Structure 1
Amino acid sequence: MTSVTNSTDTGNAILSQLTGNYDGTLDVPTVVESLLFAETGIELNSQNEDLAEYQDKLAAFELLQGGMNGFRGIMNEISTAFQDISLNGTLSDESLGSVSVSDEVSEGSYSLEVLNLASKQSITSGFYSSGGETVGAGTLTIETGTQGGSFSGNGDAVAVNVTAGMTVSDVVNEINASGAGVTAYLVNTSGGVQIAMTSKSTGLSNGFSVSVSDSDGNNNDLNGLSSLRYDDGVKNASLGQTANDANILFDGVALSSSTNNFSGSIQGFDIQVNKVNVGSPATIDVSSDIASAKDMLEEFVTAYNSVIEVFNHLKNEEIGDESKGALFRDPDLKLLERSFKKIAEEHVAGYGGSGDLGALGLKLTDANDFTIEIDETMLQAKLDTDPNAIKNALAQVALPSDPNVSFVSAESYTKSGIYSPINVTSVASVASLTGGATGSRFVGAGNDELSVTVNGESTGNVTLAGGFYGSYAELATEIENKINANLTSNSISVSYDGSAFQFAGVDKGSTYNISIDSMEAGLENSTGMTSGSSATGADMVASVGGEVAIGVGNVLEVLTGDAAGLKIKVNATTTGDYGSIELSDGIAKTFSDWVSDSFNSDGLMNQILTNYEDRIESKEERIGKLETRTEELRIRYSQEYSKINSTLIAMQQTQTQLQAQFDAWNSDS
């Protein structure tokens, strides 16, 4: 193909073939290609250049699209991740104990004052010369219960028989082997050996009394077994420590526990206390996991800066053609970039915005190219005073006005705003079965088996450990442990409240049910439960801001209106209004929505991509037509100029023949 570049060159090339110095024939391919270039080649080159430019720009915008999609995914994760970040409960005095919290707790500060710790009762006998000294004979009756003005027993009295000739050590062994609610041991002191007894468990109701039937006929003196007596009548043994519950004030509310652990006393809190702090309450601060929140802030900065780098790469304006970006001075790219940066301008003080992120220590880099960096010192100072600052700046958050309401989640289409009132017309409840009577605490053959189904999962036959239980609470614990050990996906709570047993689900809602499939008669009598009884929980019925909400347990999801998709948890024990909730979008949610809007059918990015796809399709169609026209012309021109060439060749042959004849004539003359 000839290397002509314009129509004048093409004409000159053809003329040179027709009139220049040539050997009498035409260079047909050169003539044809020159004619084709003039006819279609110039436009075809132009169309191909346009096509290549459009394809390069489409590829560049698709690169940006891929980056934007990845950015949107990260922003989605960040905007909702704070729903999964665990809450931390921090004590201002760490030596006081420890605190853990669940997602049922509202963030904030709570006071904790420990009035006294839980304790066990302990008593000691008189002095013996050694552990080998004989004690006497008779019966010790040991019963746990509450010591006070008079002893109130738990009904678990155990008789310990002491026969003649038993030593002090033997008596200790007999007490420990009896299963009574105490532990016995020997104490060596300067005055001799003493028998000590202490409750097995802390708590006011786990004290004990020791009654004596002495073989010498006198149960009141200090001789023989009578020296161990400690009951309402006579207290020959010495009291070392009384049995007490732990008592605390939690935000001024008085609470008691038989142990130093308060689990279940305050919804969502598990508190372990180690010492008292009467008059000097400590503070429990409940907030999101700051370390995880900081990680998310760093992830946001990295993702944001990556998008800025893509913009800068595509629009590169360095001097020299080789360094120009694929979208150098492209108006569509500038429009996208302006729209993207406008969001940052509204949140970072350094850009002239409201400063949500600026207050967290996010600032312009020295490059001043709209990338941002974190001032760690400023960030930590902000978090020290406002632990929720990162969440409030980045994430989609909702702030309820009532402490019984907590934000769960919201959909991307849920609109920000204040929704009031949150009106509960029916509270949620757990599935619960309550016994109406209590009987013996002895468990043995004939009254030790039961079967329970929880949410469709059966325990099969469960066998309780046999023996005499020191309290109904202990029996309830054994039943709960054995039931839950036979369940893989569910669990229940079994408790005794002082008057009745209760089998209860751990989650609220109509999807939770419990049924007692079978229970031996003796165990029915002990617990007051009935074989074949069942219960189902109930869902909350409520509205949010006047819009319909459906309850699953005590979690509500709004179905209609601007709040549609909003989910909240309402820990309501009574019907009525529970304040309002304000939903707002952080920068991560805003960026995510911006990308989604850009990719919608009428969004800016989608329009740009569609425009270039249409242009490419149009160019390819035009090029196809030009290429078809070129081939048609090539065939026609090749045929026409081949004929001309044949004529020229014939004329050349004639000329040669005539010249030969003329030459011959000249030679004859």
Structure 2
Amino acid sequence: MASITSSGLGSGLNVNDIISQLMEIESQPLTKLQDKAKEAQAKISAIGTLQGALSTFQGRVLSLSSASAYKSLKGSLADTTIGTVSTAVNAQAGSYSLAVTQLAQAHKLKSQSFSSVNAPVGTGSMTIQFGTYDDKGTSGNAADDTFEVNGDKGALTIEIDSTNNTLTGLRDAINAKKAGVTATIVNDGSGYRLLLSSSDSGKANSLKITTDDADGNDTDTAGLSRFSYDPLGTKNLTQTQAAQNAEFQLDGIAISKSSNTVTDVLQGVTLTLQKVSARDTNNAPVATSLNISRDTSGVKTAVEDFVKSYNEFVKSVEGLSFYNKDDNSAGLLNGDYVIRSMQSSIRSTLNQGLGSGSYYQSLGAVGVSFDDKGNMTLDSTKLQKALDTRPEDVASLFAVNGVTSDARVSYVSSTAATQVGSFGVSISSPATRGNFSGLAVANGPITIAEGDNDMLMVAVDGASSGQIKLSPGSYATPAALAAEIQSKINGDSRLKDANAAVTVSYNATSGKFEMSSNKYGAKSNVQITATGSATEATLGFKVAQGGTGSDVVGTINGEPAKGDGQVLTGSGKAEGLKLTITGDTAGEYGTIGFSRGFASKLDQTVTSMLSDNGLLRSRIDGLNRDLKNIGAQGNTVTRRLEDIEKRYRAQFTALDVQIATMNSTSTYLSQQLSMLNNLASGNKK
């Protein structure tokens, strides 16, 4: 008998339909698992939407987390052509009159004409110094004129040899020093000239240029000495613009500054002068008004945006977690613990008091509150009043901030370990600079002779100088020579590369030159490492003289603090709190109120939620684990269904074969019976 290979052929039953219907019933657990997987995927997507809404909200929170934003001021000039004004956070509100009588300008010199940019200029060295030239021209006696070296500007020396002894080479060598002088070449029609300009304006930045000409003559108009310019001597360069200060009157007070950009007249205010004031009929300068007022518009806008962003965030959360009892519809995250935990964390953050470090303790104190639907509202009038009267305390309400009671203490930074509160600051020893005093010298004119008492070497803050040569000549006072020493030391290339500098002065009481590093702390030191043969006798400096500074020593909140220069870092409750101490005496330095405002706290809360091990990430990881488990269960169910279907098909195949056999037997029997009937009928005949 031929085997049956197609289901139902033997039995005549629609076996495929029967098995399909049976498998549909068997597959119900798999369908439920697939529905669970879709639900988990939908929740992951919903939490992604929640993450986006939370990140947007955090961005608005961050705009409120900087303390400086709350103390912004703006400046304005009634006559905007006179100049511009900008302010820093430490500016003070006020109104002033301003009249400008002279603008500052830089010293400029030009050389003689050369035939080409490659014309030779000679060899040797050129030294450029800065200082104040006082022209006593009205006396008619040039011998009365003076030039006082600017000790705050380092001298620079340029070497000219066979590799750069052209007009172009000299220009490039000067500019390569980047030390306060700019050199350019111009063609004025008669030839090429070298123009030298002090990079800084002001009388104290007049140029003095001396040369050590390889031809042996440092003052003639040949070789490198053609570029000499001594305000009191050889002037082989021509002055095209004299150095002068800006002159102006502020509330009737006459002020002179080296630059048209003035930063040190009004605290935190930068004036950029652009034009001299007009004159009235009496030839007096016409004053314009200068106003410094608090600018709270940016903060107010930021708070308004914060309120708006919070409400948008609340709306986003409601869209994901709502429940409508009328139609039983619900958001994807309705009842999900991630929503409850997030809302609880944010509400807890907003409801906490800020502690003793802050004057304001709640958002309601500045007009931020909540309505009966949980939305944030803002009373702009109340906020504006707080900003006008206590901007520092509004800053502390929102941002991480430190408010000090003593001007000698400045808040620098804090760490996550710093606790909020009001801490007393006590200084037992202020920071000092490395310094020393030389031996006593006569208080009178001092002569520096080349190769005799003109050389010294120093070490500053761990960096060693090269050989420092003082300019030969007679110095009318020790103070003038102190400026020369400071200029030459601070112009040393090795010290400049190490960002090391000194201050040199003459103490008329002790009769000694004094030298100190410009840095504070235990890393601050200065020492004489070498001198010329007669330098000790002239200057009172001897090898090995030196001094080392000390770090500030004190306590914050009664706990020992670590000093580093002028910076004091707290411990205990003030752990990580950094303060700059600028005072120079021991004693009590008031208090600092340290606070973590609501914006800062919210930022930390949101950052925690969005972190890799935070609330939302953990929920997503949990859902992904659910998906993985569902997938594993689905694979198991799928394999079981495959086995069930095989079993059903095997059973129906066996049934088919059995029925087919029975049908065949039935047919055979029917045939045999028919034959028997036929035989019986034939026998009867």
What TM-score comes out, normalization by structure 1 length? 0.59
Q: Percent identity?
A: 24
Summarize the Cα distance change of 1:93–1:515 in structure 2 as closer, same or farther, 3 Å threshold.
farther
Residue correspondence of structure 1 range 576-655 to structure 2 within 5 A: 576-596=587-607, 598=609, 605=616, 608-609=619-620, 611-655=622-666
Q: 1:429 and 1:267 mapped to 2: Cα distance? A: 28
Name the count of aligned residue pairs: 516
SS in 2 for 1:460: coil
1:543 matches 2:510: no
Q: Which has the higher contact order (CA 8 A, sep 6+)?
A: 2
Summarize the Cα distance change of 1:633–1:524 in structure 2 as closer, same or farther, 3 Å threshold.
farther
Offset at residue 586 of structure 1 (A)? 0.8
Equivalent residue number for residue 505 of structure 2: 496
Summarize the Cα distance change of 1:429–1:90 in structure 2 as closer, same or farther, 3 Å threshold.
farther
1:38 matches 2:4: no
Offset at residue 341 of structure 1 (A)? 4.5
SS in 2 for 1:635: helix
Summarize the Cα distance change of 1:455–1:94 in structure 2 as closer, same or farther, 3 Å threshold.
farther
Amino acid of the structure 2 residue aligned with 1:24: S
Which of 34, 56, 60 is the equivalent residue of 1:48?
Answer: 34
- 1:72-104 deviation digits (Å, cap 9, x = unpaired): 57756853x436999879799999x9999999x
Amino acid of the structure 2 residue aligned with 1:574: T
Q: 2:456 and 2:298 mapped to 1: Cα distance? A: 46
SS in 2 for 1:52: helix
Amino acid of the structure 2 residue aligned with 1:50: K
SS in 1 for 2:434: strand
Amino acid of the structure 1 residue aligned with 2:505: Y
Offset at residue 473 of structure 1 (A)? 3.6
Amino acid of the structure 2 residue aligned with 1:490: N
8 Å contact kept, 2:50–2:316? yes
- 1:487-518 deviation digits (Å, cap 9, x = unpaired): 03424242425424333233322223333333
Residue correspondence of structure 1 range 313-328 to structure 2 within 5 A: 313-315=319-321, 325-328=331-334
Q: 1:466 and 1:523 mapped to 2: Cα distance? A: 12
Q: 1:340 and 1:444 mapped to 2: Cα distance? A: 76
- 1:294-341 deviation digits (Å, cap 9, x = unpaired): 686577567646644642453467999999753245453144235424
Summarize the Cα distance change of 1:567–1:100 in structure 2 as closer, same or farther, 3 Å threshold.
farther
- 1:356-392 deviation digits (Å, cap 9, x = unpaired): 6566676889x977366795x8766654444435522
Q: 1:634 and 1:564 mapped to 2: Cα distance? A: 70
SS in 2 for 1:531: coil
SS in 1 for 2:146: coil
1:431 matches 2:418: no
8 Å contact kept, 1:424–1:576? yes
Equivalent residue number for residue 232 of structure 2: none
Residue correspondence of structure 1 range 85-164 to structure 2 within 5 A: none
Amino acid of the structure 1 residue aligned with 2:637: L
Offset at residue 564 of structure 1 (A)? 1.6
Equivalent residue number for residue 509 of structure 1: 521
Equivalent residue number for residue 180 of structure 1: 146
Amino acid of the structure 2 residue aligned with 1:453: A
Q: 1:589 and 1:42 mapped to 2: Cα distance? A: 52
Amino acid of the structure 2 residue aligned with 1:42: Q
Offset at residue 175 of structure 1 (A)? 0.8
Summarize the Cα distance change of 1:292–1:502 in structure 2 as closer, same or farther, 3 Å threshold.
farther
Q: 1:513 and 1:656 mapped to 2: Cα distance? A: 122
Residue correspondence of structure 1 range 412-423 to structure 2 within 5 A: 412-419=416-423, 421-423=424-426
Q: 1:307 and 1:557 mapped to 2: Cα distance? A: 39
Residue correspondence of structure 1 range 332-347 to structure 2 within 5 A: 332-341=338-347, 343-344=349-350
Summarize the Cα distance change of 1:77–1:483 in structure 2 as closer, same or farther, 3 Å threshold.
farther
Amino acid of the structure 1 residue aligned with 2:554: A
8 Å contact kept, 2:263–2:270? no
Q: 1:327 and 1:389 mapped to 2: Cα distance? A: 39
Offset at residue 618 of structure 1 (A)? 4.1
Summarize the Cα distance change of 1:52–1:527 in structure 2 as closer, same or farther, 3 Å threshold.
farther
Q: 2:72 and 2:457 mapped to 1: Cα distance? A: 37
Provide structure 1 residue ranges, at least 5 long, that are not aligned to the other structure: 1-17, 118-157, 161-167, 183-199, 203-245, 250-255, 276-281, 349-353
Q: 1:594 and 1:519 mapped to 2: Cα distance? A: 63
1:479 matches 2:485: yes
SS in 2 for 1:511: coil
Offset at residue 399 of structure 1 (A)? 2.5
SS in 2 for 1:435: strand
8 Å contact kept, 2:434–2:517? yes
CA RMSD of aligned residues (A): 5.8
Equivalent residue number for residue 557 of structure 1: 569
Summarize the Cα distance change of 1:546–1:642 in structure 2 as closer, same or farther, 3 Å threshold.
farther
Provide structure 2 residue ranges, at least 5 long, that are not aligned to the other structure: 1-6, 102-133, 149-201, 205-247, 278-288, 355-359
Q: 2:505 and 2:454 mapped to 1: Cα distance? A: 18
Amino acid of the structure 2 residue aligned with 1:461: Q
Summarize the Cα distance change of 1:411–1:302 in structure 2 as closer, same or farther, 3 Å threshold.
farther
Q: 1:69 and 1:547 mapped to 2: Cα distance? A: 39
Offset at residue 537 of structure 1 (A)? 1.9
8 Å contact kept, 2:351–2:362? no
Q: 1:87 and 1:537 mapped to 2: Cα distance? A: 36
- 1:508-545 deviation digits (Å, cap 9, x = unpaired): 22223333333435554454333333332211222222
Offset at residue 408 of structure 1 (A)? 1.6
8 Å contact kept, 1:455–1:490? no
SS in 2 for 1:510: coil
8 Å contact kept, 1:479–1:494? no
Q: 1:272 and 1:613 mapped to 2: Cα distance? A: 61
Q: 1:257 and 1:532 mapped to 2: Cα distance? A: 43
Offset at residue 591 of structure 1 (A)? 0.5
Q: 2:86 and 2:502 mapped to 1: Cα distance? A: 20
Offset at residue 406 of structure 1 (A)? 2.3
Q: 2:618 and 2:561 mapped to 1: Cα distance? A: 37
Q: 1:68 and 1:57 mapped to 2: Cα distance? A: 16
SS in 2 for 1:393: helix
What TM-score comes out, normalization by structure 2 length? 0.58
Summarize the Cα distance change of 1:317–1:347 in structure 2 as closer, same or farther, 3 Å threshold.
farther
Q: 2:37 and 2:507 mapped to 1: Cα distance? A: 86
- 1:41-94 deviation digits (Å, cap 9, x = unpaired): 212211221232123223432443465467657756853x43699987979999
1:534 matches 2:546: yes
Q: 1:488 and 1:528 mapped to 2: Cα distance? A: 28
8 Å contact kept, 2:300–2:384? no
Summarize the Cα distance change of 1:331–1:437 in structure 2 as closer, same or farther, 3 Å threshold.
same
Q: 2:68 and 2:396 mapped to 1: Cα distance? A: 12
Offset at residue 640 of structure 1 (A)? 2.7
Q: 1:87 and 1:455 mapped to 2: Cα distance? A: 37
Summarize the Cα distance change of 1:268–1:610 in structure 2 as closer, same or farther, 3 Å threshold.
same
Summarize the Cα distance change of 1:368–1:85 in structure 2 as closer, same or farther, 3 Å threshold.
closer
Amino acid of the structure 2 residue aligned with 1:180: T
